[in-house]
């Protein structure tokens, strides 16, 4: 599909069958796609004549206006970041960008007007169209990118040579890097909060951190990061480290560092990660600290797994948890956002057969595959802009720690991944109270400890209405807070930067929209609100403990440990 001229040439836009021709192109795009098997696709293309005429008329008016601008050599200007440089003001290149944006808008409006019977196939069709549109931008091609052409002439072709080296390097790694591998070193630039590894098994290392205050709260904070990423998103640089901020607030901190699983651990199940991972780490934290009551914190999938582990413990009669904090976490997978376009029975069954050990071998779900999938959910921001900068212009990406972490992906054991995929994204029965985990019937409604729940307003990984859904599952006293921005920047938002805002509400109505209508906005970071809440559940101040580990759990090596560097 040529999105710069979707109707074959500009003059064809003036034919009376313009919209119908575009519909036929969309039909070709999806005709053999497995996502649309079993759907009455033919009915989707039966748009009312008045709808087609209205879209066609608006398109033609815009097309004529742009044509006049081009032929009278008027400069173009764009708010789109892909076409922001002055070189796109030129009538030739500017017209390419302008027609591309016009056609992109027309195609998406056409898809939205199609009478598709349910939301999921519509979202899938929109996803495919958005991918095609993003890939077809004139900025992605050397001949139609004035910035890349100018750079090529300025460097006498050296920029193209450097771009090819970038491409070869990314192909070897199997991913498009948004930050060079040598820009940071874990343990040197990132994850440098002083601590020790005090336990390890084949799943994780347990990190205990040195105090940064003379006195500390009696009850430790026990943190479970997501196993699909490395833990140091919570301990980046000192000024942005959530771990360091907790220590500065006087909390003893223990944290799980998950292994980057290899084929040797491909057999590991969901139950293994709960029992031999989180429950084991929690029990060791109790033994080392001498405190049975812990303040438990889970981020993203780590929060889902932590809640599962606490529900298993509750079924065994262990309810000695001081508090639970869930940061951008699913318990109710009612709305999984853009990721939902990929998940169906066919995909899950295929994974179960190929890597999940169900009628086939066990294997790994590669971190590179997951990273590339998440990047393609935002193709213009996380894929094609880097492709253009690196491959066409030969430029090195800016050294950003968040993007370095984003590229530092981890593998997941196939059986664990498949169980998670089926019972969360596909069936949403983790909350049912009927699932068995680690030999126990697991019921999240048994979690009656005080809970602090955080969603972020622009999160495309854990939409905040689903994060809010946890308020209807957990049984204890709850506080829900909404942060600004997205899944990472909305969570990693230290107070000193005085950026963004957050919303609070003492009431918890059933609807997240009703909650927001009466919520109070506050400037800055939600961390300050959380620190105040956490202190209420952390016990009295006692002399800080600067001896790491115990005789039973001696120091193995300094934090951040080996596992995070694998």
Assigned fold of 195-338+435-565: Rossmann fold (3.40.50)
Question: Could you identify the residue written with the tokens 């599909």?
Answer: 1
Q: Where in the sequence numbering do the catalytic residues fall?
A: 300
Q: How confident is residue 19, by pLDDT bands cut at 50, 70 and 90?
A: low
Of 30-39, 276-285, 386-395, 413-422, least confident by mean pLDDT is 30-39
Residue 37 has pLDDT above 90, yes or no: no
Q: Work out the percent of the chain whose per-residue pLDDT is above 70.
A: 96
pLDDT at position 267: 96
Q: How confident is residue 13, by pLDDT bands cut at 50, 70 and 90?
A: very low
Pairing of strands 195-200, 204-209: antiparallel
Angstrom CA distances, 32 to 27, 28, 62, stand at 9, 8, 33
* Average pLDDT value for residue range 454-473: 96
Residue 452 has pLDDT above 80, yes or no: yes
pLDDT at position 14: 38
Query: Ranked by mean pLDDT, which of 22-26, 33-37, 161-165 comes out on top?
Result: 161-165
Better-predicted residue by pLDDT, 363 or 49: 363
Residue 201 has pLDDT above 50, yes or no: yes
Residue 17 has pLDDT above 70, yes or no: no
pLDDT at position 6: 37
Could you give the CA distance from residue 467 to residue 459 in angstroms, rounded to a whole number?
10
Q: How many CA atoms lie within 13 A of 264 on its CB side?
A: 4
CB within 8 Å of 427: residues ≥ 6 apart: none
* Average pLDDT value for residue range 218-231: 96
Of 191-195, 372-376, 469-473, 536-540, least confident by mean pLDDT is 372-376
* Average pLDDT value for residue range 276-283: 98
Residue 29 has pLDDT above 90, yes or no: no
Q: Work out the percent of the chain whose per-residue pLDDT is above 90.
A: 75
What does the mean pLDDT of the chain come to? 92
* Average pLDDT value for residue range 217-226: 98
Residue 7 has pLDDT above 50, yes or no: no
pLDDT at position 26: 83
Kindly write down the DSSP assignment for every residue of 295-319, as one continuous string: EEEEETHHHHHHHHHHHHHHHTT--
Residue 311 has pLDDT above 90, yes or no: yes
Residue 44 has pLDDT above 70, yes or no: yes
Q: What is the pLDDT of residues 131-159, one digit of tens each?
A: 989 999 999 999 999 999 999 999 999 99
Residue 390 has pLDDT above 90, yes or no: yes
pLDDT at position 2: 39
Q: What is the pLDDT of residues 408-442, one digit of tens each?
A: 989 999 999 999 999 999 999 999 999 999 999 99
Residue 31 has pLDDT above 50, yes or no: yes
Which residues pair with residue 295 across a beta bridge? 221, 323
Q: Are 375 and 505 in contact (CB under 8 A)?
A: no
Q: Are 259 and 524 in contact (CB under 8 A)?
A: no
* Average pLDDT value for residue range 287-292: 97
Q: How confident is residue 18, by pLDDT bands cut at 50, 70 and 90?
A: low
Residue 9 has pLDDT above 80, yes or no: no
Residue 181 has pLDDT above 60, yes or no: yes
Q: Where are the domains of the chain?
A: 10-154, 195-338+435-565
Q: How confident is residue 12, by pLDDT bands cut at 50, 70 and 90?
A: very low
The vertex-427 CA angle with 421 and 428, nearest 5°, equals 90
Q: How confident is residue 48, by pLDDT bands cut at 50, 70 and 90?
A: confident
């Amino acid at each position: 599909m040529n999105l710069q001229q979707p109707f074959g040439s500009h003059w064809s836009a003036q034919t009376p069958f313009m919209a119908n021709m575009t519909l036929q192109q969309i039909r070709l795009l999806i005709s053999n796609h497995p996502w649309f098997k079993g759907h009455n696709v033919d009915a989707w293309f039966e748009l009312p004549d008045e709808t087609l005429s209205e879209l066609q008329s608006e398109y033609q008016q815009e097309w004529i206006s742009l044509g006049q601008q081009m032929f009278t050599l008027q400069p173009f200007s764009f708010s789109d970041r892909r076409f922001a440089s002055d070189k796109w003001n030129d009538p030739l290149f500017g017209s390419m960008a302008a027609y591309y944006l016009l056609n992109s808008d027309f195609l998406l409006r056409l898809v939205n007007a199609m009478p598709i019977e349910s939301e999921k196939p519509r979202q899938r069709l929109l996803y495919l169209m958005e991918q095609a549109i993003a890939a077809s931008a004139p900025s992605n091609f050397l001949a139609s990118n004035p910035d890349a052409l100018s750079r090529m002439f300025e460097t006498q072709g050296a920029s193209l040579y450097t771009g090819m080296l970038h491409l070869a390097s990314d192909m070897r790694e199997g991913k498009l890097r948004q930050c060079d591998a040598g820009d940071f070193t874990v343990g040197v630039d990132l994850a440098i909060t002083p601590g020790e590894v005090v336990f390890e098994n084949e799943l994780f290392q347990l990190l205990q951190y040195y105090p940064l205050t003379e006195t500390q709260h009696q009850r430790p904070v026990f943190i479970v990061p997501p196993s699909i990423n490395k833990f140091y998103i919570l301990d980046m640089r000192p000024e942005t480290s959530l771990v360091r901020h907790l220590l500065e607030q006087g909390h003893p901190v223990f944290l799980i560092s998950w292994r980057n699983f290899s084929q040797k651990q491909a057999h590991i199940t969901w139950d293994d990660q709960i029992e031999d991972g989180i429950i084991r780490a929690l029990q060791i934290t109790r033994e080392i600290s001498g405190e049975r009551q812990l303040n438990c914190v889970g981020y993203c999938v780590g929060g889902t797994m932590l809640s599962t582990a606490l529900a298993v413990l509750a079924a065994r009669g262990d309810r000695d948890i001081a508090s639970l904090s869930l940061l951008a976490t699913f318990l109710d997978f009612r709305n999984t956002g853009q990721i939902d376009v990929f998940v169906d029975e066919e995909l899950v069954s295929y994974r179960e057969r190929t890597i999940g050990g169900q009628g086939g071998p066990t294997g790994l779900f590669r971190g590179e595959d997951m990273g590339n999938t998440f990047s393609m959910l935002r193709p213009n921001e996380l894929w094609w802009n880097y492709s253009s900068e690196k491959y066409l212009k030969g430029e090195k990406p800016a050294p950003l720690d968040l993007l370095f972490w984003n590229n530092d992906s981890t593998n997941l054991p196939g059986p664990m991944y498949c169980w998670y995929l089926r019972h969360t994204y596909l069936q949403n029965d983790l909350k049912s109270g009927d699932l068995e985990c680690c030999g126990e019937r697991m019921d999240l409604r048994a979690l009656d400890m005080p809970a602090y729940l955080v969603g972020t307003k622009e999160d495309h990984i854990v939409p905040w209405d689903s994060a809010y859904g946890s308020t209807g599952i957990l049984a204890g006293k709850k506080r829900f807070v909404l942060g600004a921005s997205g899944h990472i920047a909305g969570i990693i938002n230290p107070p000193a930067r005085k950026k963004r805002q957050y919303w609070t509400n003492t009431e918890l109505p059933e609807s997240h929209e009703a909650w927001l209508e009466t919520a109070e906005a506050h400037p800055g970071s939600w961390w300050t609100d959380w620190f105040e809440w956490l202190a209420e559940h952390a016990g009295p101040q006692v002399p800080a403990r600067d001896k790491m580990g115990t005789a039973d759990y001696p120091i193995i090596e300094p934090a951040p440990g080996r596992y995070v560097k694998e």
